[in-house]
């Protein structure tokens, strides 16, 4: 039976997804999953290889071919005069044929990240790398200024840079409140499929990330900041939907989400750790505390969150989610709920 052009395109897309996921024997997997003869799948794979979409890595193993584009922006050359210049010059030419919602997300995120470089980093240069395969676009933005976590820790007089990373998860954080709302990183990180900031050996991310993708992105001299952003070229996500998730009926940024498991490297047990989480939470009306990946927590940590902070700021609702049984048991024990 002849496969229609539309179905063939869907099958090829599925093949590419499985190859990118490094599924062993991708052809066999695709054949079994879609109910298509293996010979047909192998023919599609050979065609993708012939046209340069994929390349052979070994016997029966393929990887997606990738295009790479490099740009350098200089403050002295006037490239920092606008936070939209990086998008217009470096990113838009490679995504101009994508759906409007994808272009809108990239326009917002690149503008916000360049704004940080221009106004906060004290950097003289920004280096942009655009990586593209048939599925995704990744943009890597690196500057040679003061590291973001170092800048935040110094400005807010935080004990260490780990506290600076924790503050970024909440949003509404800026070292220039007169000119900035402090929302750019918060919303940008949630618009992307994958988003990561690396500086001074510290990492901020809201997503799981394949470490192989950034193994070569370590900062050689220990200065500056690297922002790594990746989005599917066919994403159905809309920027407005992300804003609505954290806004009230009037559009105010009133809700936030804190991934507890990504802030602490081990089970959070102390009141001091809870106080790190509670800092500035009273500026929100609703806070989701995501305990995914947290196997256990201490009584002091839970008591400080739900009893001490909760009673002092009853206007802020704390919503714990994704609790393991031991964590839920501790919450019930401490709060009686």
Residue 310 included in any domain? yes
Please state, in angstroms and rounded to a whole number, the distance separating the CA atoms of residues 321 and 318.
Answer: 10
pLDDT over 80 (residue 173)? no
Q: Are residues 47 and 79 in the same domain?
A: no
- pLDDT of 316 reads 94
- Encoding tokens for residue 322? 């994704």
Asked if residue 247 is part of any domain, the answer here is: no
pLDDT at 106: 97
Q: Report pLDDT digits (tens) over 9-58.
A: 889 999 999 999 888 888 888 889 888 888 999 999 999 999 999 998 88
Regarding whether 298 and 315 lie in a shared domain, the answer is: yes
pLDDT band at 176 (very low <50, low <70, confident <90, very high): low
Range of the domain at 295: 254-335
Task: Check whether residue 188 and residue 279 sit in a common domain.
Answer: no
Q: Which of 87-91, 174-178, 291-295: highest mean pLDDT? A: 87-91
Predicted confidence (pLDDT) at residue 216 exceeds the cutoff of 50: no
Question: What's the pLDDT band for 249 if we cut at 50, 70, 90?
Answer: low
Read off the CATH number of the domain in which 172 is found.
Answer: 3.30.565.10
State the average pLDDT for the chain: 88
Same domain, 77 and 189: yes
In this structure, are 29 and 95 located in the same domain?
A: no
Tell me, what's the pLDDT at 178?
47
Q: What is the pLDDT of residue 301?
A: 95
Assigned token pair, 256? 């936030």
CATH of the domain at 17: 1.10.10.10
My answer on whether 72 and 194 are in the same domain is: yes
Instruction: Answer yes or no: is 244 within a domain.
Output: no
The phi, psi pair for 326, rounded to 5°, reads -65, -40
Whether 149 shows a pLDDT value over 80: the answer reads yes
Judge if 151 and 282 occupy the same domain: no
Q: Which CATH number covers residue 285?
A: 3.30.750.24
Reported as a pLDDT band with limits 50, 70 and 90, residue 200 is confident
Residue pLDDT, tens place only, 59-117: 878 999 999 999 999 999 999 999 899 999 999 999 999 999 999 999 999 999 999 99
Residue 136 within any structural domain of the chain: yes
User: In sequence order, what E strands does the chain have?
Assistant: 54-58, 61-64, 67-74, 125-132, 136-143, 194-199, 202-205, 225-232, 255-259, 286-290, 317-321
Question: What value does the CA radius of gyration of the chain take, rounded to a whole number of Å?
Answer: 23
Based on the structure, what is the number of domains in the chain?
A: 3
């Amino acid at each position: 039976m002849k496969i229609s052009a539309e179905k063939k395109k869907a099958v090829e897309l599925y093949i590419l997804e499985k190859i990118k996921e490094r599924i062993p024997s991708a052809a066999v997997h695709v054949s079994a999953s879609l109910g298509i003869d293996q010979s047909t799948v192998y023919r599609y794979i050979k065609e993708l290889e012939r046209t340069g979409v994929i390349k052979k890595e070994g016997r029966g193993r393929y990887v997606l071919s990738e295009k790479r584009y490099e740009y350098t922006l200089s403050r002295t050359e006037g490239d920092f005069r606008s936070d939209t210049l990086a998008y217009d010059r470096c990113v838009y030419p490679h995504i101009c044929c994508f759906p409007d919602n994808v272009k809108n997300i990239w326009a917002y995120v690149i503008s916000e990240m360049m704004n940080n470089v221009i106004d906060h980093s004290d950097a003289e240069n920004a280096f942009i790398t655009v990586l593209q395969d048939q599925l995704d676009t990744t943009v890597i933005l690196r500057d040679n200024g003061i590291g973001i976590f170092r800048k935040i820790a110094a400005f807010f007089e935080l004990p260490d840079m780990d506290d600076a990373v924790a503050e970024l998860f909440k949003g509404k954080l800026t070292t220039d409140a007169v000119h900035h709302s402090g929302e750019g990183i918060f919303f940008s990180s949630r618009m992307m499929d994958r988003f990561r900031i690396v500086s001074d050996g510290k990492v901020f991310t809201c997503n799981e990330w394949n470490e192989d993708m950034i193994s070569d992105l370590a900062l050689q001299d220990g200065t500056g900041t690297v922002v790594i952003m990746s989005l599917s070229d066919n994403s159905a996500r809309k920027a407005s939907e992300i804003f609505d998730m954290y806004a009230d009926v009037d559009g105010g940024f009133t809700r936030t989400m804190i991934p507890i498991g990504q802030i602490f490297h081990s089970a959070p047990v102390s009141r001091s750790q809870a106080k790190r989480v509670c800092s500035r939470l009273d500026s929100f009306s609703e806070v989701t505390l995501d305990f995914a990946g947290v196997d256990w927590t201490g009584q002091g940590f839970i008591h400080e969150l739900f009893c001490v902070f909760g009673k002092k700021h009853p206007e802020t609702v704390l919503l714990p989610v994704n609790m393991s049984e031991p964590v839920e048991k501790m919450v019930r024990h401490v709060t009686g709920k």
